[in-house]
Structure 1
Amino acid sequence: MTPLYQVRADYDADSIVVYQAYPSAIADAALRHGRFVPPFSFQRMTWIKPSFRWLMHRSNWGRKSGQERTLAVRVSRAGWESALAAAVLTTGEPDRLRDAPVHVQWDPERSVRGAALNHYSIQVGLGRAVIREFVEEWTVDIRDLTPTVRKLAEQVHAGADVRRRLPPERVYPVPPEIGRPLLIEGGRTGR
């Protein structure tokens, strides 16, 4: 049985991939500059998600207005873990949440067809206090997955099994001292 709260992601020894969906103006500017620049907003929380399937559910496979473009943002593991270390659960105390630079929310993980699964997917909200770090220090690479998402969406709509064509995701070893307050199960198992 899959533990309820684990971070599953595409990662290597130095970095982790998170996904975001944007309108073309933001995606094109980010791809052109290799980092987020205006019209990306540095004044509002931005949510990053290591689960490709959850983002596909949220963006309706890139068909929701304002979420037509899917970006794979590779960030340093040090940055990712510092975000988690600064995070507060959205279901926690309102006073702590209001002042927290990073929010963590757990939502049901999704199947390829959007059905809720019996375990959760982490969403990490980066507040104004850490967005510049995310953009200027943590981001290693930004890739446009939009053509892949469109092709996969057509195949899913046609009834094809696309699970083997999705980005690989495995349990990310969050250090226990960071994971425990966020309900993350599993802890560090090595890099």
Structure 2
Amino acid sequence: MTLNIKSYKEQLATWPKQGHHIMAQYDDEKIIVYQSYRPDIGNFAAQNQYFGGDFSLNRMTWIKPNFLWMMYRNGWATKVGQEVCLAIHLKRDAFERYLKQAVYSSYQSDLYPTREAWQEQVQNSAIRLQWDPDHDPYGAKLERRAIQIGIRGKEVEKYAKDDILEIEDITPFVKEQYKHVLYKALDHLMIPEEHPLVFKNEDLNKQLRLQ
């Protein structure tokens, strides 16, 4: 596994406690996002380094840059249909491209002139944006908000093959670390190192409500 790993407790001491934050592992070239799939889709992606086989290009697919939010969603790779957890090394410029065209999943009166205008944008956009409560290793809600991004249409075709640098199956790591959660031994829990991501584009930061 090529991800940078660090103690959960050490990271917790420095992370923001509230507000909208893209918590992620990233550099100038890429950002790590997570997805979980049933074995036939997840194994194909890891083995072939692109999404194909039974992966549907006709459905919206959701990516999450926050590791613990993914663990909340997939139950630490225990939920049916989410047994294979993937760390996707996504091109940084592709991630930003998604966000620049994203439309919120729910109406935001300060961003859209009318509810009808927002609904029209939702219908026409290939990217959906959603902020949800972040979660701790046990799945409890936090005040900090975590982002997830839905991709469909022509953008999901680019995502499946062109926008990805590498796909890692991190399921063994997830299962190993889940033992520390089960035994309530968070002093031993190791997770991918993450920091808040902000952009040079201040208009984008404002649109995303980044703090």
Same structural fold, with TM-score higher than 0.5 when normalized by the shorter chain: yes
Q: What residue in structure 2 maps to residue 43 of structure 1?
A: 58
Retained in 1: the 8 A contact 2:128–2:150?
Answer: yes
Retained in 1: the 8 A contact 2:180–2:188?
Answer: no
- Flag as ranges the 4+ runs of structure 1 deviating above 4 A: none
SS in 2 for 1:124: strand
Q: What residue in structure 2 maps to residue 177 of structure 1?
A: 203
Q: What is the total number of aligned residue pairs between the two structures?
A: 185
Question: C-alpha deviations, 1:101-157, integer Å up to 9, x for none?
Answer: 100000000001111111100000001220111122210000011001111112210
1:184: how far off? 2.4
Q: Which moved more, 1:101-110 or 1:150-159?
A: 150-159
Q: What residue in structure 1 maps to residue 132 of structure 2?
A: 107
Which structure carries more relative contact order (alpha carbon 8 Å, separation 6+)? 2
Unaligned runs of 5+ in 2: 1-15, 108-117
Distance 1:110 1:39 in 2: 30
Q: Structure 1 residue 57 and structure 2 residue 83: aligned?
A: no
Question: C-alpha deviations, 1:62-120, integer Å up to 9, x for none?
Answer: 11110011000011110000000010111122222121110000000000111111110
AA paired with 2:134? E
Unaligned runs of 5+ in 1: 186-191
Distance 2:146 2:175 in 1: 23
Retained in 2: the 8 A contact 1:109–1:116?
Answer: yes
Q: Structure 1 residue 25 and structure 2 residue 50: aligned?
A: no
Q: What residue in structure 2 maps to residue 75 of structure 1?
A: 90
Q: What residue in structure 1 maps to residue 121 of structure 2?
A: 96
AA paired with 1:183? R
TM-score scaled by length of structure 2: 0.84
TM-score scaled by length of structure 1: 0.92
136, 140, 151: which one aligns with 2:176: 151
Change (3 A) 1:154 1:27: same
Identity of aligned residues (%): 30
1:172: how far off? 1.0
Q: Structure 1 residue 10 and structure 2 residue 35: aligned?
A: no
Cα RMSD (Å): 1.4
Q: Structure 1 residue 141 and structure 2 residue 166: aligned?
A: yes
